[in-house]
Amino acid sequence: MSRQPRSAVNRWFLGTSGLVLLAAGVWLCGAAGRLSGHLPSWWPVPRGALLDRSRLGELRDHAWWTPAVLTLTAVLTTALVLGLLAQLSVRRPSRLALAAPDSHLRGAALADTLRRRTETVDGVARCRVRMARHRGRIHIAQHVRIEPGSSPRAVLRSLSDVITEARNAVAPHTLTVQVRVRSTAHRAPHVH
The secondary element (H helix, E strand) that includes residue 96 is: strand 95-97
Mean pLDDT (whole number) for 6-16: 76
The string of pLDDT tens digits covering residues 50-67 is 667 787 788 888 888 889
One-letter amino acid identity for 118? Answer: T
pLDDT of residue 56: 79
CA distance 169 to 140: 14
Helix ranges (DSSP H) in the chain: 3-31, 33-36, 53-61, 65-89, 107-119, 152-170
Q: How many C-beta atoms surround the C-beta of residue 166 within 10 A?
A: 21
Question: For the chain, how far is it from start to end, CA to CA, in angstroms?
Answer: 47
pLDDT of residue 18: 82
**Which residues, including other chains, have CB under 8 Å from residue 31's CB and lie 6 or more apart?**
45, 46
The string of pLDDT tens digits covering residues 111-133 is 888 899 999 999 999 999 998 87
User: pTM of the entire structure?
Assistant: 0.48
The string of pLDDT tens digits covering residues 132-171 is 877 668 888 999 999 988 888 888 888 898 889 888 888 7
